[in-house]
Amino acid sequence: MIRVALVDDQALMRAGFHALLDAEDGIEVVGEAADGEQGLELIRAQLPDIALIDVQMPVMTGIETTRRIAADPALSGVRVVILTNYGFDEYVFEALRAGASGFLLKDTEPAELLQAIEVVARGEALLSPSITRTLIGEFVSRPPDRATAPGLECLTRREREVTALAARGLTNEEIAVHMVISPFTAKTHISRAMTKLGARDRAQLVVFAYESGLVAARGGDHRFEASEF
Residue 138: the pLDDT is: 59
Give all strands (DSSP E) within 44-152, no chain letters.
50-54, 79-84, 102-105
Q: What is the pLDDT of residue 122?
A: 76
Distance CA 150, CA 131 (A): 23
Looking at residue 105, its pLDDT comes to 79
The b/e string for 26-50 (b: 16+ C-beta within 10 A; e otherwise) is ebebbbbbbbbbbbbebbeeeebbb
- pLDDT of 225: 40
Residues of the chain with pLDDT under 70: 86-90, 92, 123-151, 216-229
For residue 78, the model assigns a pLDDT of 93
d(CA 64, CA 13): 21
Count Cβ atoms within 10 A of the Cβ of residue 56 and give its class: 0-12 exposed, 13-18 middle, 19 or more buried. Answer: middle
Buried b (16+ CB within 10 A) or exposed e, 105-144: ebeeeeeebbebbebbbeeebbbeeebbbbbbebbbeeeb
